[in-house]
Amino acid sequence: MRITQIETIRAGRQPSLLYVQVHTDAGITGLGETCVGVAAVEAYLHETAAPELIGTDPRDITRAWDTAHRQFIGFGGSSVAVRATSAVDIALWDILGKVAGLPVYRLLGGPVRDSVRAYNTCAGPGYGGSSSNVNRKRWGLGDTDPDDTGPAGEYEDLLASVTRPEELVASLRADGVTAMKIWPFDEAALRTGGGWIDRADLRDGVKIIERTRAAAGDDMDILLELHSLWSPQAALTIARAVEEFGLFWIEDPFRVDSPEALARFADRTSIPLTVGETIGTRFDYQRLLRTGAVGYLMFDVGWTGGISEAVKIAALAQTYGVPVAPHDCTGPVVLTAGCHLSAHLPNAVLQETVRAFYHGWYRDLVTELPRLEAGRITPPDGPGLGLELRPEVREWPDLRVRATAST
């Protein structure tokens, strides 16, 4: 079996997503995905990666990853090269599963659990339309009045999280959700650049968390996301102000450029610290884990080197006694790959989901999704990842397809 073509697929309606289809001479294809900066990733795939991959055996996944890694010189963190490799690696595991007639979690060594607890990231249907973390257009709310308390569409959980947290908690509970992630401080960072937080902004954000906790009681975990928008001191001010509400974790309070700053922060708050979704490969994660500051380690399969590297990162975290929680606020293929890992990894404790995506545009793109019910998520049982791009996607007028094939 040989790789004959690398195909990239982008849709104008989801501009931050890139799909990679790896074709073989046996007629078997594999599907991968990555997110953000996709024009550069696409160029790298066709100009650098495809010439190395075409003609090789797609089942030689370790060889493919090692070949790609030797080209990472000069690229740190979750670079264009790492994201391209992530998408290809996911696709190769998909091919291997189809060849073997087994789901990915079986190929990895089998499941340690049938399902994993899912938390809901409280985004809305339009969230993630660009590469920046905040502002109302990033939230998918356009020019919505910031004081508007009315609905902005089905599953508009982001607007609800800051204006109607009691209704949001009730809705999530009705869906069986037992953990939710919110970010009531993000817009405040726009006003100060994140170097400090205004007293009024601090008070308003704390009030949202207080209302959420009052509605949730003790049977709903609350996760606080800060999107790396703050300075260490401003983030610590926020953390200390919300400690009384028993948060499950505080995520990405600031950029982890300084391991020492991360360690100081963790020593000064009782809230477990979660970091890692955009860090890179195992070599970057080791530097984080050595600080002893990490309470939960997060990785995104589409940003960290794919399934192959995610398994190594999780094993490394396990040696430090740190649980892992795969990230997904990106696309259906990364969610599905994360679910296969969550079923297999002994130290996986949570899988991120976005119900606005899961019940919405994810279903427009792929044929199957992991089963999400009663607050738990289960990977598909089909061979490989267990899903394909829907055939009708090929007919979308806003689709851009580029292919590099053997000659």
pLDDT at residue 93, rounded to an integer:
98
| pLDDT tens digits for range 197-254 | 999 999 999 999 999 999 999 999 999 999 999 999 999 999 999 999 999 999 999 9
Secondary structure (DSSP) of 370-398: -EEETTEEE---SSBTS--B-GGGGG-TT
- Which range, of 35-44, 149-158, 322-331, averages the lowest pLDDT? 149-158
Q: Where are the domains of the chain?
A: 3-102+388-405, 106-378
| pLDDT tens digits for range 94-137 | 999 999 999 999 999 999 999 999 999 999 988 876 433 345 54
CATH, range 106-378? 3.20.20.120
Fold match, 3-102+388-405 / 106-378: no
On whether the CB atoms of residues 65 and 89 are closer than 8 A, the answer is yes
Query: Higher pLDDT residue, 154 or 310?
Result: 310
How many C-beta atoms surround the C-beta of residue 168 within 10 A?
A: 25
Which pair of tokens denotes residue 330? 């990106």
**Residues near 398 by beta carbon (within 8 Å), at least 6 away in sequence:** 11, 12, 13
In the 8-state DSSP scheme, what is residue 295?
Answer: S
| pLDDT tens digits for range 255-279 | 988 889 999 999 999 999 999 988 8
**Residues near 140 by beta carbon (within 8 Å), at least 6 away in sequence:** 123, 124, 125, 126, 127, 128, 129, 158
pLDDT at residue 67, rounded to an integer:
84
Res 299 pLDDT > 60: yes
Mean pLDDT of the chain: 92
pLDDT at residue 354, rounded to an integer:
97
Q: Residue 359's closest CA among 199, 193, 177, 226?
A: 177
What integer is the mean pLDDT of 366-379? 97
What is the rounded CA–CA span in Å between residue 223 and residue 122? 10
Question: Can you list the alpha helix ranges (DSSP code H) found in 199-328?
Answer: 199-216, 232-242, 259-267, 282-290, 306-319
User: What residue type is assigned to position 318 of the chain?
Assistant: Q
| pLDDT tens digits for range 36-79 | 899 999 999 999 999 999 999 999 999 998 888 776 655 566 78
CATH superfamily of the 3-102+388-405 domain: Enolase-like, N-terminal domain (3.30.390.10)
What is the rounded CA–CA span in Å between residue 251 and residue 315? 21
User: What residue type is assigned to position 242 of the chain?
Assistant: V
pLDDT at residue 152, rounded to an integer:
47
What integer is the mean pLDDT of 349-370? 97
Classify strands 399-405 and 376-378 as parallel, antiparallel or unpaired: unpaired
